[in-house]
């Protein structure tokens, strides 16, 4: 296990041996091809570095510029722990997936079921969808009089989040009356948008999302830090881990900078190998939702139809998630024998936080008895190695990210690693990795359907009336 050179914190690692032609043959990547892209990679690294903290790269400075904000978050989190039984995040996309992933990674896997004395914070819920049954179900498990709601939307115009706000603020007014505002914390843009106006009007406690930080890059801002702190997670450790990874990403040498190497390899996969799917497969339940968070980051950032120069491109790699060992018993069949259109990213934990022994028994069954005396720790690692070998034998590209332990520092490293790899990949593809016009088209169409009278939505509504009619023969 390697440690950070500056602070000796455990350091995550990227093993790409089974991505390379040296190991798996012609379907793998030649090291010479990586070397041939060394100058292009260095240029990508320089572009990201030279634009730090500007445009939509504000997230690169989050490990360094939040001392006062972190102190405020920690004080607010302590107040919430003292006064409330439940903490509910209202958000969608990056405002939800990050807090979910970090909570799953760093707290007890049955956190909400723990008795009050064993939980480091209030019960925690993230409402990241607008299924009407889901909202009704939330009211069945919380007491609004004892619940704090964190409304997260940069624009304050996110229909899903603001509809939830309208429902829950009405419930608070009905249940509490005067003083209901103390149950709301707003996390939003510092200058513009509906939510900041509402927060000033009602007197909500406010945290700000930096204007140069987009939603899917916001986990290390108050978007993710407040929910984590409320639940007793070491947010300073997360930021320190991000800082450690940032230090490793200073090199312009593709063989020294792990995020740059990852971006170059995935660029080759997309553009030259036909591997337009990346399967992220953690072998740890704690990392299950880190795969979900990565999928949003990678898909929304890299799925683009024009380059920065306006040329048509239709690029991007489809991320999908699997869970080891659960999906090893089904999806692995496709990964080993299906099309050569995938790269599999395994995630490994070096040392789990618990050791669970397997008792002796069933001695009459040799294929069961051999498990006795071993541990689940040994079994899950053996299964991961089995998957890795099956992919290797089949000549499929596979890489492994290892977290020596799962703690605040290594999760901070992992988040920052994926963010940097995404930024580098955007440079290599010559696309804007920070916009989302395809998502915006869906939003505009949705609001048009609902009858928003704004001119933009009215025009879209008229446009939609001319779409192709559905044919009955295609509906069974």
Question: Of these residues, 27, 108, 182, 443, which one is catalytic?
Answer: 443
Would the pLDDT of 321 be above 80? yes
The confidence band for 6, taking pLDDT boundaries of 50, 70 and 90, is low
Q: Give residues with Cβ within 8 angstroms of 453, minimum separation 6.
A: none
Give kind and range of the element (H or E) at residue 73.
helix 67-83
Task: Report d(CA 149, CA 168) in Å as an integer.
Answer: 8
Q: State the Cα–Cα distance between residues 135 and 125, nearest whole angstrom.
A: 11
What is the distance between the alpha carbons of residues 222 and 200, in angstroms, rounded to a whole number?
18
Question: 184: helix, coil or strand?
Answer: strand
Rounded (10°) CA dihedral 321, 326, 331, 336: 100
Write out pLDDT tens, residues 253-273: 999 999 999 999 999 999 999
Model confidence over 350-393: pLDDT tens digits?
Answer: 999 999 999 999 999 999 999 999 999 999 999 999 999 999 99
Q: Quick one: what percent of the chain has pLDDT higher than 70?
A: 99
Given the residues 127, 160, 219, 300, select the one marked as catalytic.
300
Q: Any catalytic annotation for residue 300?
A: yes
What are the Cα distances from residue 435, in Å, to 26, 184, 216, 303, 414?
Answer: 36, 29, 10, 10, 22
Four-point Cα dihedral 402, 406, 407, 408, nearest 10: 60
Question: Residue 168: which of 188, 192, 142, 131 has the closest Cα?
Answer: 142
Catalytic residue status for 329: yes
Contact between 356 and 347 under an 8 Å Cβ cutoff? The reply is no
pLDDT for residue 1: 61
Q: Rounded mean pLDDT of the chain?
A: 96
pTM: 0.96
Tell me: pLDDT of 96 over 70. yes
Residue 184 has pLDDT above 80, yes or no: yes
Say what the pLDDT of residue 221 is. Answer: 98
What is residue 355's three-state secondary structure? Answer: coil
Q: What is the pLDDT of residues 49-59, one digit of tens each?
A: 999 999 999 99
The DSSP output letter for 236 is: H
Dist. CA 444–CA 460, nearest whole Å: 7
286 vs 473: CA distance, rounded Å:
47
CA dihedral 222, 224, 226, 227 (to 10 degrees): 160
CB 379 within 8 A of CB 371: yes
Quick: pLDDT tens for 150-183: 999 998 888 999 999 999 999 999 999 999 999 9
Q: Which of 145, 197, 329, 459 is catalytic?
A: 329
Q: What is the pLDDT of residue 253?
A: 98
Range with lowest mean pLDDT among 121-135, 212-226, 444-458: 444-458
């Amino acid at each position: 296990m390697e440690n950070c050179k500056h602070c000796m914190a455990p350091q995550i690692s990227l093993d790409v041996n089974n991505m390379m032609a040296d190991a798996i043959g012609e379907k793998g990547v030649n090291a010479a091809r990586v070397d041939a892209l060394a100058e292009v990679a260095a240029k990508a690294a320089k572009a990201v570095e030279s634009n730090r903290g500007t445009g939509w790269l504000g997230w690169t400075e989050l490990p360094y510029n939040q001392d006062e904000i972190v102190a405020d978050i920690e004080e607010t989190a302590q107040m919430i722990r003292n006064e409330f039984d439940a903490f509910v995040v209202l958000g969608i996309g990056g405002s939800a997936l990050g807090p979910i992933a970090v909570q799953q990674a760093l707290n007890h896997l049955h956190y909400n079921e723990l008795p009050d004395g064993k939980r480091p914070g209030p019960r925690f819920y993230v409402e990241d969808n607008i299924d009407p049954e889901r909202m009704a179900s939330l009211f069945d498990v919380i007491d609004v009089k004892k619940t704090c709601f964190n409304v997260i939307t940069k624009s304050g115009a996110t229909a899903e989040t603001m509809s939830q706000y309208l429902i829950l603020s009405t419930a608070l007014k009905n249940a509490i009356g005067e003083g209901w505002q103390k149950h709301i914390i707003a996390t939003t843009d510092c200058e513009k948008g509906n939510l900041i106006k509402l927060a000033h009007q009602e007197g909500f406690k406010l945290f700000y999302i930096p204007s140069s930080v987009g939603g899917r890059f916001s986990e290390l801002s108050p978007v993710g830090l407040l929910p984590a702190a409320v639940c007793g997670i070491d947010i300073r450790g997360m930021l320190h881990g991000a800082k450690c990874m940032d230090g490793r990403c200073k090199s312009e040498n593709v063989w020294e900078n792990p995020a740059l190497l990852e971006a170059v390899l995935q660029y080759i996969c997309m553009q030259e190998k036909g591997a337009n799917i990346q399967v992220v497969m953690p072998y740890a339940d704690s990392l299950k939702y880190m795969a979900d968070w990565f999928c949003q980051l990678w898909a929304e950032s890299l799925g683009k139809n024009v380059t920065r120069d306006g040329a048509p491109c239709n690029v991007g790699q489809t991320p999908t998630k699997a869970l080891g060992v659960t999906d090893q018993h089904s999806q692995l069949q496709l990964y080993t024998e299906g099309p050569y259109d995938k790269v599999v990213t395994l995630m490994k934990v070096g040392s789990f936080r618990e050791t669970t022994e397997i008792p002796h028994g069933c001695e009459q069954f040799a294929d069961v008895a051999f498990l006795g005396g071993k541990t689940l720790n040994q079994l899950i690692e053996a299964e991961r190695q089995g998957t890795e070998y099956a992919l290797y034998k089949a000549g499929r590209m596979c890489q492994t990210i290892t977290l020596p332990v799962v703690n605040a520092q290594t999760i901070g490293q992992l988040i920052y690693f994926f963010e940097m790899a995404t930024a580098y990949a955007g440079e290599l593809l010559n696309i804007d990795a920070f916009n989302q016009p395809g998502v915006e088209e869906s939003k505009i169409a949705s609001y048009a359907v609902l009858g928003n009278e704004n001119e933009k939505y009215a025009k879209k509504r008229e446009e939609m009336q001319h779409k192709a009619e559905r044919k009955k023969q295609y509906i069974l």
